[in-house]
Amino acid sequence: MAKSHLFILLCFLLNSVSSQTTVDEPTMQALKSHLNLTKDVDWSNPNPCKWPTVECSNNRVTRIQLNNKAIRGTLPSNLQTLTELTVLEFFMNQISGPIPDLSGLTRLQTLNLHDNLFDSVPKNLFSGMVSLQEAYLEYNPFSPWEIPESLKEATSLQKLSLTGCNLTGKIPDFFSSQTLPSLTSLQLSQNLLQGELPPSFGASSLQKLYLNGQKLNGSVSLLQNMTSLIELDLQGNAFSGPIPDLSGLEALSLFNVRENQLTGLVPPSLTGLKSLKTVNLTNNCFQGPTPEFGKSVAVDVIAKTNRFCLETPGAPCDPRVDTLLSVAESLGYPVKLATSWKGNDPCDGWLGITCSGSNVTVVNLGRQGLTGTISPSFAKIASLETINLSNNNLTGTIPNELTTLPKLKTLDVSNNDIYGGVPKFGDGVAVVTSGNANINKDGPLSPDGGGGGGSKKSSSVKIIAPVVGGVVVAALCLVGLGVCLYKKRRARPAKVQSPNSHVVVHPHHSGDGDAIKLSVAASSVGGSSNSQTPNSEIHVVESGNLVISIQVLRSVTNNFSEENILGKGGFGTVYRGELHDGTKIAVKRMEPSAVSDKGLEEFKSEITVLTKMRHRHLVALLGYCLDGNEKLLVYEYMPQGTLSQHLFHWKEEERKPLDWTRRLAIALDVARGVEYLHTLAHQSFIHRDLKPSNILLGDDMRAKVSDFGLVRLAPEGKYSIETRVAGTFGYLAPEYAVTGRVTTKVDIFSLGVILMELITGRKALDVTQPEDSVHLVTWFRRVAASKDKDKDAFKNAIDPNINLDEETLASVQIVWDLAGHCCAREPINRPDMGHIVNVLSSLTVQWKPSEADPDDLYGIDYDVPLPQAVKKWQASEGLSQTMDDSGSSSSAYGSRDNTQTSIPIRPSGFAASFTSVDGR
């Protein structure tokens, strides 16, 4: 009896202890009621410390980690009271409203709210967060805001990501290691930041700095002092001036300055950096010799998009070019000169240069807004007769060396800020110095020597001999200015933003309201019920998505006849179809069981999104049909089938094996297509099902990625139906397979597997192999580990159908390393798609820019009916055959400039579930 009483008492005590709740309960209840929790989040226990994804210590809430659960709602304003919080994470949900005031959470170490729908940030965000180590707020549609001053208070901060956060204004100047001593990673890409790099960067301990894709400008000279840097991405800004001496950046691995206005020589301090793995200098105004980097460096330096003297890496320039470039150096390599001073012959129309034969006789750079100093290098151009540098903002002194020019007749430096004495020129030289307030006076730096031997006369104009009128007049005529034009562009489609979504809409024009009509003749019709009147119409509805009737699809596929079957996959069967004008399409008839029974509207909205993703390396989803149980998707037809056919079944299909160049080109196409998905205007789209059967080939053997987004249509939990597992399993990133966590890094992993397949010719899963080699990634890792010791192991692993010469072997080696990198176990250790594009593009044959307007070639023009549009793309792709492998995708090349070929969108609901982030 006594025992049973004791037992009951114990139970009671235990129970009361367990139900003893936390002082944080009211706040947590408020949180619960503000969030629209999904079914799989059970927060019903009265004690919040018992809630899954919540952790307490000493009965206080210390962690809330409610991530990737499709949760909507808002955050309550009193989260601040959770003063013991160390980790607050709600990333990858659809939470909206403001981020509440969190100031004073002194113990908070991690704040991770990325990929939500938050619309504002409190002014005092970070205030008092002295323990904060990591903050990730990227990809939220905040109303424009500036980096808050209160960030200074987060003195423990190590990593900060505010990518795609609508940041405006300047980057504040408090990033020195004195203020933020632990900050090593700063990601501010894809915002609207302006102005120059803050000087404090030069005194920071930053290792990763991502500022790509905005309006930053000015010099990059302070990089010289950022000696801790490992990764630097300044792509797509307006930085100008030369690259400084980078010899102190001994750990620098990534240097991406693509698409800026940088000028000057690419310094040996960059080319010689031992740590360097990836360099991208494309689309700048670099001058001098095309740089030559070490073999192990992945380089994207498209010579033609710069101003190099010759295209061959390392080839020296003409001495006249070298001399004039050192003149430009003293002027800070102005963009104006860089745009015009290209090629290896200064007498070939260079701005301000006049020649007699091949001798430079006149340098006329008056009124060019130049700053800097007068270079003593002028003295090396012995043929010079006239130097006109008047009406600029030059400073410094007139170099003594100029007096040695044997043929000099005129030196005009009037109206600048030159100081010091005027050197003694020979008789017959007209030296014009008027309009320099400090001429014959010591200047700001008290010149030594330079002007020392100068005349002490007070006159600022010293004309020793009559000016040779003709020469001066000629010299004063301005040559037309060159413009650093990278691309010729036509008018772009209008960008229209709807209140709840970021939609870029191509304007339609049509005589029929907003619809565009497309005629499809009923070529042959299977049965009477399927009969279709000729000229039945497919309507492009307002948003550009295409609804196609089942009758039309029956008609064009010959009633889904056997002989029209192109293949079967996890979602159903794909049929070939032909429109009346001969345009081919592929129709995917979805197996009802393979498609989730989501509401029709949701399905439609998801499909609508997919129809808008257009890129030359994505198989276009042209339209869809929903009719009762029938769900069909209509794709652009890819005549050469899948990569798996060419890679694994070439013998059966009596084809030739793919050569290495072709494999590289395909890999690059795929990377570019997926890079586009990952870098859509305000968000990332994740493919989730990259594999060779989803890589389709055109007649030119250029590749496109298909079936992006389809996984989203699969019913929950049904993802692993047998066919899908069979096709997909070997490509799944471990964290995705195990936890379902989806970031862009799952695509990187899959692409890594595809690279391994391209190298080895082996399938991701090959049950014909011995047990320990069935799984390609595992086998690959093993070979990779033994590669250094056993050179043969590496060579033996390469597909014997690849013709291996020395050059190919070196290229395979780089892709091998890249593949291994992509399949790193930890997502964080995998590169992003931009890096992969860089590496692969550096390995393919050099890109030759097309003269044609890329918009004309690859743009989607909604003004023309679909069959014509399809024809146009096909024609343009035919054209690409004439270009070389690496870069026919001139439009895709600048794939971050997505407006070029696409309609980026931010759909509600759908987008958020696709949204993710990478690069940390």
Binding flag, residue 642, ligand ATP (CB under 6 A): yes
- The distance of closest approach from Cβ of residue 595 to ligand ATP in the complex, given in angstroms and rounded to an integer, is 11
Contact of 216 with 194, CB cutoff 8 Å: yes
Q: Which residue has the tokens 């013991």?
A: 84
DSSP H helix total and E strand total for the chain: 21, 44
Looking at 307-441, list the stretches that DSSP marks H as alpha helix, in order from N- to C-terminal side. Answer: 319-330, 335-340
Query: 619 contacts which partner out of ligand ATP, Mg ion, none, CB within 5 to 8 A by kind?
Result: ligand ATP
Query: 700 contacts which partner out of Mg ion, ligand ATP, none, CB within 5 to 8 A by kind?
Result: none
Tokens read off for 244? 């400084």
Residue in 253, 388, 693, 874 binding ligand ATP, rule: CB under 6 A? 693
Query: 689 contacts which partner out of Mg ion, ligand ATP, none, CB within 5 to 8 A by kind?
Result: ligand ATP
Query: 586 contacts which partner out of Mg ion, ligand ATP, none, CB within 5 to 8 A by kind?
Result: ligand ATP
Q: Rank residues 76 and 692 by Cβ distance to ligand ATP and give the closer one.
A: 692
Q: Rank residues 727 and 827 by Cβ distance to ligand ATP and give the closer one.
A: 727
Residue in 21, 414, 694, 891 binding ligand ATP, rule: CB under 6 A? 694
- Which range of residues in 300-308, 525-533, 693-701, 862-870 is near ligand ATP by CB under 6 A? 693-701
Angle value at C-alpha 120, between 114 and 121, nearest 5 degrees:
75
Where residue 608 falls (left for φ over 0; alpha for ψ -120 to 50; beta otherwise) is alpha
Q: Rank residues 707 and 877 by Cβ distance to Mg ion and give the closer one.
A: 707
Binding flag, residue 619, ligand ATP (CB under 6 A): yes
- The distance of closest approach from Cβ of residue 570 to Mg ion in the complex, given in angstroms and rounded to an integer, is 8
Number of residues near ligand ATP (by CB under 6 A)? 24
Binding flag, residue 125, ligand ATP (CB under 6 A): no
Using CA atoms, how far residue 2 sits from 7, 9, 16, in Å, is 9, 11, 21
- The distance of closest approach from Cβ of residue 706 to Mg ion in the complex, given in angstroms and rounded to an integer, is 5
Q: Rank residues 694 and 750 by Cβ distance to Mg ion and give the closer one.
A: 694
Taken in order 357, 360, 361, 365, is the CA torsion positive or negative?
A: positive
Half-sphere exposure of 324 (CA within 13 A, CB side): 34
Q: Is 304 annotated in some ligand binding site?
A: no
- Which range of residues in 551-559, 603-611, 688-696, 766-774 is near ligand ATP by CB under 6 A? 688-696
Q: Rank residues 566 and 879 by Cβ distance to ligand ATP and give the closer one.
A: 566
CA–CA dist 363, 472 (Å, integer): 11
Query: Residue 654, Cβ neighbours under 10 Å: how many?
Result: 6
Q: What is the distance in angstroms between the CA of the first residue and the CA of the last residue of the chain? A: 63
Binding flag, residue 211, ligand ATP (CB under 6 A): no
Q: Rank residues 577 and 831 by Cβ distance to ligand ATP and give the closer one.
A: 577
Q: Rank residues 151 and 574 by Cβ distance to Mg ion and give the closer one.
A: 574
Q: Rank residues 286 and 635 by Cβ distance to ligand ATP and give the closer one.
A: 635
Contact of 670 with 692, CB cutoff 8 Å: no
- The distance of closest approach from Cβ of residue 547 to ligand ATP in the complex, given in angstroms and rounded to an integer, is 19
- The distance of closest approach from Cβ of residue 255 to Mg ion in the complex, given in angstroms and rounded to an integer, is 37
CA 62 to chain centre: 36
- The distance of closest approach from Cβ of residue 675 to Mg ion in the complex, given in angstroms and rounded to an integer, is 20
Query: 518 contacts which partner out of ligand ATP, Mg ion, none, CB within 5 to 8 A by kind?
Result: none
CA–CA dist 758, 149 (Å, integer): 50
Q: Rank residues 174 and 729 by Cβ distance to ligand ATP and give the closer one.
A: 729
CA 694 to chain centre: 23
- The distance of closest approach from Cβ of residue 724 to ligand ATP in the complex, given in angstroms and rounded to an integer, is 6
Residue in 28, 273, 610, 638 binding ligand ATP, rule: CB under 6 A? 638
| Marked catalytic residue, from 689, 707, 832, 918 | 689
24-29: long-range pairs with CB below 8 Å, 24+? 24/48, 24/56, 24/60, 24/61, 24/81, 24/82, 24/84, 27/61, 27/76, 27/78, 27/79, 27/81, 27/82, 28/54, 28/61, 28/82
Q: Rank residues 521 and 566 by Cβ distance to ligand ATP and give the closer one.
A: 566
Q: Catalytic: 322?
A: no
> Pairing mode, if any, of strands 185-187 and 159-161?
parallel
Query: 637 contacts which partner out of Mg ion, ligand ATP, none, CB within 5 to 8 A by kind?
Result: ligand ATP
Using CA atoms, how far residue 625 sits from 410, 549, 604, 705, in Å, is 78, 6, 9, 22
Binding residues for Mg ion restricted to 512-571, rule: CB under 5 A: 569
- The distance of closest approach from Cβ of residue 714 to ligand ATP in the complex, given in angstroms and rounded to an integer, is 9
Binding flag, residue 764, ligand ATP (CB under 6 A): no
Binding flag, residue 754, ligand ATP (CB under 6 A): no
Tokens read off for 481? 């200015």
CA–CA dist 740, 396 (Å, integer): 64
> Pairing mode, if any, of strands 159-161 and 134-136?
parallel
Half-sphere exposure of 294 (CA within 13 A, CB side): 14
CA 397 to chain centre: 45
At 87, which helix (H) or strand (E)? strand 87-89
Query: Residue 573, Cβ neighbours under 10 Å: how many?
Result: 17
Q: Which residues of 284-323 are buried (b: 16+ CB within 10 A; e: fewer)?
A: bbbbbbbbebeeebbbbbbbebbbbbbeeeeeebbebbbb
Residue type, 897: D
Binding residues for ligand ATP restricted to 286-325, rule: CB under 6 A: none
Query: 615 contacts which partner out of Mg ion, ligand ATP, none, CB within 5 to 8 A by kind?
Result: none
Question: Closest CB to Mg ion belongs to which residue?
Answer: 707
Binding residues for Mg ion restricted to 564-623, rule: CB under 5 A: 569
- The distance of closest approach from Cβ of residue 693 to Mg ion in the complex, given in angstroms and rounded to an integer, is 5
Binding residues for Mg ion restricted to 16-45, rule: CB under 5 A: none
Cross-strand pairs, 371: 393
Tokens read off for 191? 């915002």
CA–CA dist 527, 857 (Å, integer): 40
One character per residue 690-709, x = contact with Mg ion (rule: CB under 5 A)? ----x------------x--
Least Cα distance to 630 among 715, 540, 549 occurs for 549
Number of residues near Mg ion (by CB under 5 A)? 3
Binding residues for ligand ATP restricted to 557-596, rule: CB under 6 A: 566-571, 574, 586, 588
One character per residue 1-20, x = contact with ligand ATP (rule: CB under 6 A)? --------------------
CA–CA dist 678, 672 (Å, integer): 10
Binding residues for ligand ATP restricted to 703-742, rule: CB under 6 A: 706-707, 724, 727-728
Binding flag, residue 635, ligand ATP (CB under 6 A): yes
- The distance of closest approach from Cβ of residue 693 to ligand ATP in the complex, given in angstroms and rounded to an integer, is 4
Using CA atoms, how far residue 819 sits from 637, 644, 725, 851, in Å, is 29, 18, 22, 34
CA–CA dist 374, 330 (Å, integer): 6
Q: Rank residues 361 and 694 by Cβ distance to Mg ion and give the closer one.
A: 694
622-627: long-range pairs with CB below 8 Å, 24+? 622/546, 622/585, 622/866, 622/870, 623/538, 623/545, 623/546, 623/547, 623/548, 623/866, 624/545, 624/546, 624/547, 624/548, 625/547, 625/548, 625/549, 625/550, 625/552, 625/553, 626/547, 626/600, 627/549, 627/550
Residue in 696, 733, 776, 840 binding ligand ATP, rule: CB under 6 A? 696
Binding-site members are: 588
Question: In the complex, which residues of this chain contact Mg ion (CB under 5 A)?
Answer: 569, 694, 707
Question: In the complex, which residues of this chain contact ligand ATP (CB under 6 A)?
Answer: 566-571, 574, 586, 588, 619, 635, 637-638, 641-642, 689, 693-694, 696, 706-707, 724, 727-728
Binding-site members for ATP are: 588
Catalytic positions, written as ranges = 689
